[in-house]
Amino acid sequence: MQKTFTVFADPSHAWGKVPANVLYALGLTAKDFSGYSYLAHGHMFLEEDADLTKFAKRYQQVTGSAPKWREKHCEGQSAIRFKPRNTPNNAWQLVPAIAH
């Protein structure tokens, strides 16, 4: 399972990028997270205040170790703010790619 995840931050907020297959392996789905997180291309961008904390706790429970974070900062608004929000209508964007 992936051990290092990227956290994207702009001057006022941050989101952790987590692949759908990692979430599913931990028993999590888009329904477990708030509308303050975003979805795109088989990944969730989990908002830092509650959703990323929920993911980190579950990750540690299942794997026995804490996830590692790699941070990327931008000066203006993060492009993540323009991705689709986590809503029931957008959950299809979290479907992981099927390996051939």
Task: Give residue-wise pLDDT tens across range 42-100.
Answer: 899 999 999 999 999 999 999 999 999 999 999 999 999 999 999 988 777 676 554 43
Measured distance CA(67)–CA(50) in Å, rounded: 16
Amino acid occupying residue 65:
S
Output the pLDDT for position 100.
34
Residue 53 host element (H or E): helix 51-63
Q: What is the mean pLDDT of residues 21-44?
A: 94
What pTM was estimated for this model as a whole? 0.89
Is-contact 58 26, C-beta < 8 A? yes
Output the pLDDT for position 98.
44
